[in-house]
Chains A and B, each alone.
Chain A
């Protein structure tokens, strides 16, 4: 019983903490974000397993975590509002080459984050070539280039 409660509590806590931390944290934009995730994983492990390192215990914990995830997905399917509340929504942070400063500040995304994403994923080197930059729910930054934006417009 304790293993299930333990896993459920850790799951709920992580859900809340990462929601509070914002989209940006999980996207692993900087090296340190990656290190942070690693260290959180390490501390979580102890809380999940306690002193019981038996095989069955780890099965119980894994089963609980996956079951929680499934249950949450089911509930979110029924309640779209909950989905938005738990997973957040994508947000435009660059519009026609113009960075939307307030939104970037609120989401803790810097111009260099956006430009880095433009370079890595789209081969775009300048801000004015970006039609839209969207901070996605998962924290990644999608870039829609001027050209592809223009092609779509009639």
Chain B
């Protein structure tokens, strides 16, 4: 309470110091709100320029000409649909069945909605799940699209492999 009441005929619990502090906090709060909206537009909370990412597998020494590229969102949200678009290239596409290896732990925190095109067979390994496509179904540059929803918040590393090459993605899921 301020010492002097400037309105003698008004019982009012006005407090100019508190009032001024409140205005300062409010101004600061507005700045924070605008920053949040700005970050959201930029894609820091998913779905925006800062969120879209593209990775290409590094060619490894072991002679495989397989190349995996992936487009994904760095920032996702629990319960909100997101997508990873994978592209496979290289000689291994031409020789027999093609399998995309997905780490099993990916399934721990994601609900897969759809895989396009659907694999002919799914093989479970100790640490990976293999999505197997019959010979000839995928051509060079063929895309495999995974639509899914993260089911738990957290920062994860996702790894997708194809004939000895692999791509790694870091993905953050907000709550």
Contact = CB atoms under 8 A, between A and B. Distances in A.
Interface of A: 16-17, 19-20, 22, 50-51, 84-85, 88-92, 95, 106, 132, 134, 144, 149, 152-153
B118 interface: no
**B: interface residue count bin:** 10 to 19
Contacts of B62: none
Contacts, number: 44
A95 B9 CA distance: 11
B14 A106 contact: no
B117 to A, nearest CB: 28
Contact of A152 (B9, B19, B26, B30): B9
A98 B25 CA distance: 27
B156 to A, nearest CB: 20
A127 to B, nearest CB: 17
Interface in B17-56: 18-19, 22-23, 25-26, 29-30, 32-33
A50 B32 CA distance: 26
B90 interface: no
Given A91-B19, A106-B23, A152-B9, A20 B14 contact: no
A21 B22 CA distance: 11
B13 interface: yes
B10 A89 contact: no
A154 B29 CA distance: 44
Contacts of A20: 25-26, 29-30, 32-33
Contact of B10 (A16, A17, A22, A132): A132
6 contacts: A20-B25, A91-B19, A92-B7, A134-B10, A134-B12, A149-B9
